[in-house]
Structure 1
Amino acid sequence: MSSPEIASLSRGQMKARSSSKPQKYCRVLPGGSQAWDWRETKSEHYPCMLPAGVEEVIKKDVQMLAIDQGMGEVLKVPPSTGEYLETQGTGVWVIQTELGCPGCWVGGLFYSTC
């Protein structure tokens, strides 16, 4: 099962091909995408993605996870998240939103703002 392709992106809106409506924050998983509340795991601009924030995605057996830093790259991923993903056997790609959207194939956590 592959992850959906990102169909469109503008500041504050991202839409996966599998989704009926755009999302401000999007979790891309094998088999689909969904709206995502990045603050539910106590994420802030720094740290933007704690290990607890990636657990839902890696439960889907992704081999590579794209974590984006927002449109302006203001979000910072702490080293502990990369270390956690490494212990789980999941690769990590920390990217700027526009660079991660085209061809995002495995799993991702995307911010269309910041």
Structure 2
Amino acid sequence: MLARSPRILSIAWGRIEVESLGEAKDAKCWPGGAREWDWDETGTRHYPGIQPADVEELLEAGATTLVLSRGMQERLGVPEETLTLLRSRGIEVHTAETKQAVEIYNGLVATTAVGGLFHSTC
């Protein structure tokens, strides 16, 4: 059985606090862990948005459901390429404004192998 995904303890503009991680600007969470999400690792920008490479780590950690935040003002894109990849692998995907994404994610932590990408600004 996979470890439980860490809960998000708080979210505010420019700051997210994750159980077992502490504070970060942006965060990646998965069953059993979390770390700061560094967009420079994959060349992510607001447009086109969350890259397939951004979600690979979460899938490798065993996430079967992903929550992808679009930012506090929904300026972070989620390209069709990323959604197609996830759906082709049978991954349930939720996309939402960041505060809503946190609510969805925290609601799934106790019952699902959930992973998430959370952007705390625009």
- Paired position in structure 2 for 1:59: 60
Shift of 1:39: 2.7
- After TM superposition, which residue ranges in structure 1, 4 or more long, deviate above 4 angstroms? none
- Paired position in structure 2 for 1:10: 12
In the alignment, structure 1 segments of 5+ residues that lack a partner are none
User: In structure 2, what residue type is equivalent to 1:54?
Assistant: V
* TM-score normalised by structure 2 residue count: 0.87
- Paired position in structure 1 for 2:93: 92
* TM-score normalised by structure 1 residue count: 0.92
- Paired position in structure 1 for 2:75: 74
Shift of 1:89: 1.8
Measure the CA separation in 1 of the matches of 2:23 and 2:92: 27
After superposition, what is the alpha-carbon deviation per residue over 1:81-113, rounded to whole angstroms, capped at 9, x for unaligned?
010011222111111100011315210011001
% identical equivalent positions:
38
Which among 80, 95, 109 is matched to residue 117 of structure 2? 109
SS in structure 1 at match of 2:11: strand
Measure the CA separation in 1 of the matches of 2:16 and 2:53: 23
Shift of 1:18: 1.9
SS in structure 1 at match of 2:24: coil
In the alignment, structure 2 segments of 5+ residues that lack a partner are none
User: In structure 2, what residue type is equivalent to 1:8?
Assistant: S
TM-align CA RMSD: 1.2
